[in-house]
Amino acid sequence: MIVDNAIYVDGRRTAEPSSFHETHEAVRRAGGLAWIGLHSPTEEEFSSVAGEFGLHPLAVEDAVKAHQRPKLERYDGTLFVVLRPARYVDETETVEFGEVHVFVGEDFVVTVRHGEASELGRVRTRLEGDPGLLRLGPAAVLYAVTDRVVDDYAPVVAGLENDIDEIESEVFSGNAGVSRRIYELSREVIEFQRATEPLPGILGELIGTAENPELQRYLRDVQDHALRVTEQVGSFRVLLQNILSVNLTLVGLSQNEEVKALTQASIAQNDEVKKISAWAAILFAPTLVGTVYGMNFDHMPELHWALGYPFALALMLLISVSLYLVFKRRGWL
């Protein structure tokens, strides 16, 4: 989809051609700067732009298919820059990424945007309101786009920092289910780091090749912001690793306490079983004696003995006391 197609002369918008061919012819004839903005174009839509401005097929393929990492490449006098804008989504606590591909030639800029992050309409409005900056040429457009992308990282950093603070609170409040959230946030931080880490190097190369001192100052300012973002994101990743280690330690301690409690309960249960078993054995001994002597067979020892009854009682008492002393000594009672 064509978002905008305009020609700028001396920093001011002078024409809005109806086709890319007219744009190419007008900028060659009248001079100035052609700026074409596209959003998620198809291969057919982009082929006319590539043909008119002589864009390299490899860069065209990257711009159409997207899914590229941030990079800077040069193709026959045309600079090709890939940026990864991002925005923080409060509802899902996730980071949404897009892509911006910028082709910078001697007298033209083609911006190709994929996704909803970092809408470039504000960049065009800003430059149209600052003709002095736009007079610096296509490199000024590239600076403004990069500056917008880096500035939009600030809310993402703030959102991630807030999520990390919440996770820290959950970890130390004993929420065992926080591990999943730590893992998911770590993935977001890693993806964000991939989007931001190459930027200082890209900007450093742009600063080294920029001929205008004022433009170099602008680019250095963006580089400073990008470095600050990359340092913060790097610290987020380390902090999340530490939080995960602390959480695993706390979960381990909690599990150890649970195991200890279960062990203590098992020991107490074993003690109760020992007591029950000991008393059962003590009670079983006189029952056995009484059962034997209660059979009343004609031919039984001591059946007609005058001391048979006292002997049976004394035997039951002696066995019971003996068993009691044995179990007591062994700690079962």
Q: How confident is the model at residue 85 (pLDDT cuts 50, 70, 90)?
A: very high
Q: What is the pLDDT of residue 257?
A: 64
Q: What is the pLDDT of residue 304?
A: 66
Q: What amino acid is encoded at 22 in this protein?
A: E
Q: What is the pLDDT of residue 250?
A: 67
Statement: 1-130 belongs to CATH 3.40.50.2300: no
Q: Which one has a higher pLDDT value, 279 or 125?
A: 125
Are the C-beta atoms of residues 239 and 160 closer than 8 Å to each other?
no
Pair of tokens at residue 281: 């054995």
Q: What is the pLDDT of residue 234?
A: 92
The conformational region for residue 54 under phi > 0 = left, psi -120 to 50 = alpha, else beta, is left
Whole-prediction pTM:
0.75
Domain chopping of the chain, boundaries:
1-130, 270-329
What is the CATH T-level fold of the domain 270-329, as seen in this structure? Answer: Methane Monooxygenase Hydroxylase; Chain G, domain 1 (1.20.58)
Q: What is the mean pLDDT of residues 90-117?
A: 89
Q: What is the mean pLDDT of residues 192-209?
A: 93
Task: At 13, give phi and psi (nearest 5°).
Answer: -75, 125
Q: What is the pLDDT of residue 271?
A: 73
Residue recorded with tokens 């996704």? 115
